[in-house]
Amino acid sequence: MSAEIVNLRQFRKKQARTEQEKQAEQNRISFGRTKAEKQLTRSQNDKADKAHRDGRIETGDDGA
């Protein structure tokens, strides 16, 4: 019933590498896109936002 011996220095380094890899993956997703892909995403977001605003019903009630 002995516990596994762990070298804390190696554990911390391994954990830091894992965190850096997660951050690198996020950066590849966020910043690793071409200009055309960014423009396409921006135009899709603008179109969805406009559709959302156009579908809004105005009640004329100011809440006062």
| pTM for the full predicted model | 0.46
Angle ∠(45,50,53) on CA atoms, nearest 5: 125
CB-based contacts of 37-46 (< 8 A; 24+ apart in sequence): none
The whole-number pLDDT of residue 1 equals 67
Task: In whole angstroms, give the CA distance from residue 19 to residue 11.
Answer: 12
Q: Give pLDDT tens digits for 5-64.
A: 889 999 999 999 999 999 999 998 888 888 998 899 999 999 999 999 998 877 777 655
Please determine, for residue 4, whether its predicted confidence score (pLDDT) is greater than 60: yes
What spatial distance separates the first Cα and last Cα of the chain, rounded to whole Å?
Answer: 71
The whole-number pLDDT of residue 15 equals 97
